[in-house]
Amino acid sequence: MNDALKLGFGPLKAPAKGVLIVFCDDALKFGPATRKALGSAADLVARAPQVDAGFLHGDFPPDRQRAFAEQVVATLGMEEGSWRIDPTAHPFCTSFSNRDVRLTTRYREHDLESVWSTLHEAGHGLYAHGIADSLQRTPLANAPSLGLNESQSRTWENLVGRSLPFWKHWYGPLQETFPEQLGGVPLADATVQVSPRANTNCQWARLKGRASSLSATLK
Ligand SMILES: [Zn+2]
């Protein structure tokens, strides 16, 4: 993470501008946190266009965010009745067994960060949910690999949750949840497709004001 900060992925001084979706068809190539990869990514970010993401800021009632989050998580593959989501100040996931998975998320009134923080925690939840019954009540049932566990959360938050296919499916329900805020913003205006291979610019590190998706994944 220190290398990432030196290369400019740290806290952004200017208000972060971002987009609802970044779909990068080369995303999976940036696996290992090598300096070479960071350098390439830094270059992409430096050339990234500024995108007006004002539609992501406004009044988003937490109760409706919560309804949307539960709607999404219910489709991710966890057994009905084996999980729940509750609000918290700092999102986390814990589990008491593979069928007692407890997600928490944070709903802020003026943005939709909860969508991605929920997906992140749901990734942790899926990891816990997938631990074999035969391992329950053993040390191996308690997140045997923190790295793999975190990789699942990043996968759902970033590779899935910022992908075009995901939003082709979920943008309609999101608009229905927030018709005043998003009803007039069509999917095409809410998304930008980027591809390093096509020499277009990549917006990864500007998606979130606090931690960039790219640096967070590589740290
Ligand atoms: Zn995590």
pLDDT digits (tens, 9 = 90+) for 45-64: 666 666 678 888 999 999 99
Q: How far is the CA of 121 from the centre of ligand 1 (A)?
A: 6
Query: How many angstroms separate the alpha carbon of residue 120 from the centre of ligand 1?
Result: 6
What residue ranges of the chain have pLDDT lower than 50? 1-30, 195-219
160 and 85 within one domain: yes
Q: Are strands 21-24 and 191-194 parallel, antiparallel or unpaired?
A: parallel
- 98 and 77 within one domain: yes
Same domain flag for 81 and 170: yes
Distance CA 83, CA 207 (A): 28
Q: What is the pTM of this model?
A: 0.73
Whether residue 157 sits in one domain with residue 77: yes
For 92-102, give one letter per residue: b (16+ CB within 10 A) or e. Answer: ebebeebeebb
Query: How many residues are given for the chain?
Result: 219
Check whether residue 42 and residue 66 sit in a common domain: no
- Do 122 and 208 belong to one domain? no
147, 211: one domain: no
Q: What is the pLDDT of residue 147?
A: 87
Query: Under 8 Å CB-to-CB from 146, ≥6 apart: which residues?
Result: none
- Of 70, 79, 121, 157, the catalytic one is 121
SS3 content of the chain, % helix, strand, coil (to 5): 50, 10, 40
Q: What is the span of the domain harbouring residue 27?
A: 2-56+196-218
How many structural domains comprise the chain? 2
Same structural domain for residues 158 and 86? yes
Q: State whether 167 and 210 are in the same domain.
A: no
Tell me, yes or no, whether 51 and 67 share the same domain.
Answer: no
Beta bridge partners of 209: none
Q: What rounded mean pLDDT belongs to the chain?
A: 76
Tell me how far the alpha carbon of residue 93 lies from the centroid of ligand 1, in angstroms: 8
Question: Do 116 and 25 lie in a common domain?
Answer: no
Instruction: Report how far Cα 129 is from the mean position of its chain's Cα atoms.
Output: 19
Distance CA 104, CA 22 (A): 25
Active site (annotated) includes residue 150:
no
pLDDT, residue 33, reads: 56
- Measured in Å, residue 117 CA sits from the centre of ligand 1 at 9
Identify whether residues 152 and 202 lie together within a single domain: no
